[in-house]
Amino acid sequence: MRWLLICLNGDVSPAFRLPKKPEAPISILERVHAPRLLALPVSRAHRAPASFSVKVISHTDNMKSKPSSPHSLILVAGTVISTASLHAGPTLPPPAVDAKNPPVQFAADVSPWTFSAGATVRSIDADFHFAQPTPLSWQPLIGRASRGRGDVGFSNGNSVVRYDDGIVGPSINFGGVENFGLSQGMINSGSQLSGTGRTLATGQPIYNAAFHSSTTSYSVDTHLHSLDASDSDVGVGPYVNLSYAVFSGSESSVALNLGWSYVRTEHGTGPTALGYQHVFRKDTAYTYNYDFFTAAGVAPASYPHTVGLPNSALVYDAALYDALAVPSPTGTRSPRKSSRASSKVAAAFVPVATSKLDVTLNEVVFSVEYRRKLGDRLHIGLAVGPTLNVIDSDFDAKLAWYANGRSTPVAVERRHESSTDVKVGVMGQVNVVFDLTEKLFLEAHGSYRWVDSADVGGSAASVSIDPSSWEGGLGIGIRF
């Protein structure tokens, strides 16, 4: 058994040297005017008072006896001596430390519990999708889809055809013959008449009577497409971690961790055009030319002029008129038609998509950590475990149709959706700890978090939230 000799208020006297080869157990240590002494077995001396100087006197179980004296102190192995007697006598300076026989030091107890808190940084990705827009209902914005009489054609003698500036039909009954090739009608303006240079067989000049009709039609050229866009944002938030060491060794330890963190991110696509829808206007002007003559051989003096025998006539069928008229040929021609069309962009509509997404992520981590000492104050650890993620999101999507570059939309489609998704993930993390004191420490960590994505929205507009990312943190902790 090893013995400790504790000297109270003084140093150990040389008189207490032990023989190199003790022959019998020593129970009495003797010295006249010796300081107070306390001898205890090492196995029971768990803690020494801070003011005591502890020195190893012997490493044998047997001490050789010497004669006792009135000033002797009887020391028995395993005996506990009351510390009340330690306060008697004057106080002397602490003894000098012997380099060859240093004081025995006892390690302080280490708590298995630690708590740390700090700031975490991680990124969240958002993948936005807008479906191809439905073409805009543009007709109410333009007005009537078509205007004008259109291509009304010629009179065949039996029908009455109305033009923008006159009427042709029905046929003239001449000498009891209904279809004589000539027609009555109405000419609204003298500007409709022009000379042809031709004459009838009887010498009267033949004029050209122009009647008009028009139409306006619209056509659409549509090129629309979907949109897929991504946006990433980095969020900074708090984290806390509670750890319990289930195993502690001199160089390594194993701990169970329970942690929580919070981050918030904002995402969006910005205004993005999803194609265009152009509406074209086509204006077509039709001109119908009829031969016209008067019995007097001169153009009418006033308008509107009513056409009809015996004063005037319009030729709707020159071949029929030549066959029945005398003399023949008459020199007339059947009606002719001409047209002129023009086209332009009546309206240019552009659908513009915008979106906004706010994400908050609450993460709870359960992990097992293996930690190893790299020095007196530095530790490195590796932690792995599952995560529970609560993902709250607010999603706003808007599709606005703008016409001809104007700033005010002509039609707007909006969508708003709030969602809460709970996802299970997994993480791997490296921790570095630096001890400031026995209780306080600084810590830094880096990790990768994998979490399944969360989908928000519908068929027209949606977003996929991907929280999987690298993560880092810096904090301070305490052992308690």
Pairing mode of beta strands 53-58, 3-7: antiparallel
Residues linked to residue 151 through DSSP beta bridges, in sequence order = none
Rounded to whole angstroms, the Cα distance separating 345 from 329 reads 50
Q: Are residues 321 and 179 in the same domain?
A: yes
Residue 164, sorted as left (phi over 0), alpha (psi -120 to 50) or beta, turns out to be alpha
pLDDT of residue 110: 65
Select, from the ranges 43-52, 91-100, 139-148, the one with the highest average predicted confidence (pLDDT): 139-148
The number of C-alpha atoms within 13 Å of 317 and in the hemisphere containing its C-beta is 18
pLDDT of residue 109: 53
Rounded to whole angstroms, the Cα distance separating 22 from 65 reads 9
pLDDT of residue 53: 39
Checking if the pLDDT of 386 tops 80, the result is yes
Checking if the pLDDT of 19 tops 50, the result is no
pLDDT of residue 379: 96
Q: Are residues 212 and 171 in the same domain?
A: yes
In a domain, 415, yes or no: yes
E runs forming strands in 12-80: 28-29, 37-41, 53-58, 73-74
Q: Are residues 173 and 308 in the same domain?
A: yes
The C-alpha angle with vertex 111 and arms to 109 and 114, in degrees rounded to 5, equals 150
Select, from the ranges 29-43, 47-61, 83-97, 146-160, the one with the highest average predicted confidence (pLDDT): 146-160
Of 322, 336, 337, 301, residue with least CA distance to 200: 322
pLDDT of residue 74: 31
Query: Per-residue pLDDT averaged across 79-96, rounded?
Result: 45
Q: Are residues 56 and 82 in the same domain?
A: yes
Q: Are residues 437 and 462 in the same domain?
A: yes
Rounded to whole angstroms, the Cα distance separating 352 from 400 reads 5
Q: Are residues 204 and 294 in the same domain?
A: yes
Of 400, 393, 399, residue with least CA distance to 357: 393
Domain coverage including residue 42:
3-87
Output the CA torsion sign for 377, 382, 384, 390.
positive
Query: Per-residue pLDDT averaged across 425-440, rounded?
Result: 97
Select, from the ranges 47-61, 178-192, 255-269, 307-321, the one with the highest average predicted confidence (pLDDT): 255-269
pLDDT-above-90 percentage for the chain: 68
Banded pLDDT at 325 (limits 50, 70, 90)? confident
The label of the residue with tokens 């002129």 reads 340
Banded pLDDT at 103 (limits 50, 70, 90)? low
DSSP labels, 204-249: PEEEEEEEEEEEEEEEEEEEE--EEEEEEEEEEEEEEEEEEEEEE-
Q: Are residues 178 and 258 in the same domain?
A: no
Q: Are residues 168 and 293 in the same domain?
A: yes
Banded pLDDT at 262 (limits 50, 70, 90)? very high
Instruction: Report how many domains make up the chain.
Output: 3
The number of C-alpha atoms within 13 Å of 371 and in the hemisphere containing its C-beta is 29
In a domain, 102, yes or no: no
pLDDT digits (tens, 9 = 90+) for 130-160: 999 999 999 888 876 678 899 999 999 889 9
Position 399: which residue type? L
Consecutive H or E run containing 417: strand 411-435
Q: Are residues 188 and 300 in the same domain?
A: yes
End-to-end CA distance of the chain: 36
Checking if the pLDDT of 358 tops 80, the result is yes
Rounded to whole angstroms, the Cα distance separating 457 from 418 reads 9
For residue 399, the tally of other CB atoms under 10 A from its CB is 23
Rounded to whole angstroms, the Cα distance separating 71 from 81 reads 17
247 Cβ neighbours under 8 A, 6+ residues apart: 253, 254
Position 354: which residue type? T
In a domain, 191, yes or no: yes
With H, G, I as helix, E, B as strand and everything else as coil, classify residue 268: strand
Rounded to whole angstroms, the Cα distance separating 324 from 306 reads 24
In a domain, 421, yes or no: yes
- CATH code of 474's domain: 2.40.160.20
